[in-house]
Amino acid sequence: MFWKLINPITIAIAKSFLHGLISDNIVVLYFKGVKTRKDYAIPVSYLENPEGGLSCVTDRPFIWWRNLINNKNIQILLKGKLLNAEV
């Protein structure tokens, strides 16, 4: 229940001119559910790899990440920019 309140606020900040407050730690993943084709927007913590890639961090009990297994192309909102990305 906590995340249903926090996630929309985090996404709104990430889309706004205030994104600098969270952009060093948070990226928003945009993807479709594999079975339902429902649109998801999930803010997650990330680390930048020296090669330029990103590693996202989440808590395993939340199962949204299973949609990424068969969903190789997604969009991400990183530092105020919407980008295409590969999983």
CATH number at residue 16: 2.30.110.10
∠ Cα 51 52 56 (to 5°): 110
Let me know: does 46 contact 76? Beta carbons within 8 Å. Answer: no
For each of the chain's 87 residues, which pLDDT tens digit applies? Answer: 677 889 999 999 999 999 999 999 999 999 988 888 889 999 999 999 998 889 887 776 767 777 787 778 899 999 999 999 988
How many domains, the chain? 1
Buried residues in 2-13 as b, exposed as e (16+ CB within 10 A): eeeeeeeebbeb
As given in the structure block, the two tokens for residue 84 are 């295409």
Q: Tell me the residue range of the domain where 80 lies.
A: 2-86
The pTM of this model reads 0.86
